[in-house]
């Protein structure tokens, strides 16, 4: 079976080759090397979060039955121009860089790698929550600047202990469940809101309404996928329902939050602090209001960046390719209707 490995700087050729050959040692492999994460991805034609030249990808796909990729753009044009292609295996939590409708129309299966960076993102989210609670980045910068403030032991300026707090987790999937378990291990009371999960008792979290979660939580951390219903779910109205002095963390998706409303809430003294790995614009313009708002901790959308996340993604994708090679249905199929 002919397989194109379309690698990049995160899902490297070595990582993908190791995973694929462990599943299919006799695969006939061709290679296309991309440059992501530099420059960053963006929109390519009608697909999102992609990087690469359509014509170069079309040329590389000639005669290829399967392709495993991470960020290359599988547009209508690319898919329509690749008649030999039967399976696109994408090494990410959602195949946003694939035109699923076009793939289905042309009889091409699309698989993906759910949960590939769940542990990495959960660990980063916890780190951001702690950093916001104790203002670690801000104190670090003060020390670098030669400052040694002695008033942070003043009662009003001291940080909050997670283990003595209530933590609200919005979204109880692979990432949110891990965050909840870590928070529980700290000793926190954990509340969960997830409209797509059946309420249950797992000994870790209490299922509550969003309103109850916001009203009772000292920390709110977001782990939901974006839908039409939850865009700007954190807005002026919902921020007002949060406890005074609460902290907000978003390592999920930028559109979940109205960032102007967050700035207003921090400036008014209602929201104490925030930590964001996902932003309204990436990168932020130098004059963006968020950068002028105090007590916000930032990272540049890297919560899922770990070497193990890369290896896990490659293993999931390769297992689905091996299933296809055996004549079986890939486990993580984005368009199962193509089989009809």
Q: Is the pLDDT of residue 129 over 90?
A: yes
Cα(245)–Cα(340) distance, integer angstroms: 54
Mean pLDDT of the chain, nearest integer: 97
Residue-level pLDDT at 286: 96
Alpha carbon of residue 337 to chain centroid: 26
Say if residue 243 is in the same domain as residue 227. Answer: yes
105: CATH: 3.40.50.720
Sign of the torsion formed by the C-alpha atoms of 180, 301, 96 and 5: negative
Catalytic residue among 70, 92, 272, 301: 301
- DSSP character at residue 48: E
- Its pTM stands at 0.91
Residues 286-302: what's their mean pLDDT? 97
Instruction: Report the domain count for the chain.
Output: 2
**Which run of H or of E encompasses 271?**
strand 271-276
Say if residue 132 is in the same domain as residue 276. Answer: yes
pLDDT, one tens digit per residue, over 189-239 is 999 999 999 898 899 999 999 999 999 999 999 999 899 999 999 999 999
Give φ, ψ of 333 to 5 degrees.
-95, 125
**Band of the pLDDT at 289, cuts 50, 70, 90?**
very high
- DSSP character at residue 339: G
Residues 72-79: what's their mean pLDDT? 98
Burial zone of 269 (CB within 10 Å; 0-12 exposed, 13-18 middle, 19+ buried): exposed
Residue the block writes with tokens 């070497």? 307
Sign of the torsion formed by the C-alpha atoms of 331, 336, 338 and 339: positive
**Band of the pLDDT at 2, cuts 50, 70, 90?**
very high
Say if residue 272 is in the same domain as residue 176. Answer: yes
Residues 274-303: what's their mean pLDDT? 96
The neighbour count for residue 197, using CB atoms within 10 Å, is 14
Residue-level pLDDT at 246: 98
**Enclosing domain of residue 145:** 118-298
315 is an active site residue? no
Q: Are 85 and 54 in contact (CB under 8 A)?
A: no
Say if residue 129 is in the same domain as residue 195. Answer: yes
Say if residue 138 is in the same domain as residue 286. Answer: yes
301 is an active site residue? yes
Say if residue 157 is in the same domain as residue 270. Answer: yes
Say if residue 90 is in the same domain as residue 17. Answer: yes
Residues 124-148: what's their mean pLDDT? 97
Catalytic residue among 253, 270, 288, 295: 253
Residue-level pLDDT at 340: 85
Say if residue 112 is in the same domain as residue 123. Answer: no
Catalytic residue among 28, 46, 55, 282: 282
The neighbour count for residue 155, using CB atoms within 10 Å, is 5
Say if residue 236 is in the same domain as residue 287. Answer: yes
Say if residue 169 is in the same domain as residue 195. Answer: yes
Residues 17-40: what's their mean pLDDT? 96
Say if residue 173 is in the same domain as residue 25. Answer: no
Say if residue 246 is in the same domain as residue 261. Answer: yes
282 is an active site residue? yes
How many percent of the chain have pLDDT more than 90? 94
Burial zone of 339 (CB within 10 Å; 0-12 exposed, 13-18 middle, 19+ buried): exposed
């Amino acid at each position: 079976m002919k397989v194109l490995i379309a690698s990049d700087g995160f899902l490297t050729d070595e990582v993908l080759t190791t995973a694929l050959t462990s599943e299919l040692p006799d695969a006939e492999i061709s290679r296309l090397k991309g440059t992501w994460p530099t420059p960053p991805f963006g929109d390519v034609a009608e697909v999102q979060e992609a990087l690469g030249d359509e014509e170069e990808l079309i040329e590389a796909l000639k005669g290829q039955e399967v392709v495993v990729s991470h960020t290359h753009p599988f547009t209508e044009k690319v898919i329509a121009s690749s008649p030999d292609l039967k399976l696109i295996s994408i090494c990410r939590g959602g195949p946003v860089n694939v035109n699923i409708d076009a793939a289905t129309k042309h009889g091409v299966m699309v698989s993906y790698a759910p949960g590939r960076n769940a542990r990495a993102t959960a660990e980063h989210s916890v780190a951001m929550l702690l950093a916001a609670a104790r203002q670690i980045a801000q104190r670090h910068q003060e020390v670098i600047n030669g400052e040694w403030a002695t008033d942070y032991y003043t009662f009003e300026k001291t940080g909050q202990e997670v283990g003595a707090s209530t933590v609200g987790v919005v979204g109880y999937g692979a990432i949110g469940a891990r965050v909840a378990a870590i928070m529980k291990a700290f000793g926190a009371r954990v509340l969960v809101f997830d409209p797509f999960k059946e309420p249950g008792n797992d000994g870790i979290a209490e299922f509550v309404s969003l309103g109850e979660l916001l009203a009772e939580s000292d920390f709110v951390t977001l782990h939901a996928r974006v839908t039409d219903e939850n865009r700007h779910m954190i807005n002026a109205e919902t921020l007002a329902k949060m406890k005074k002095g609460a902290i907000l963390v978003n390592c999920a998706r930028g559109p979940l939050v109205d960032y102007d409303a967050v700035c207003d809430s921090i400036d008014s003294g209602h929201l104490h602090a925030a930590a964001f790995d996902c932003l309204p614009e990436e990168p932020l313009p130098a004059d963006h209001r968020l950068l002028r708002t105090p007590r916000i901790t930032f990272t540049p959308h890297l919560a899922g960046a770990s070497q193990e996340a890369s290896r896990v993604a490659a293993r999931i994708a390769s297992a689905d390719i091996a299933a296809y090679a055996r004549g079986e249905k890939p486990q993580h199929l984005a368009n199962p209707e193509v089989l009809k």
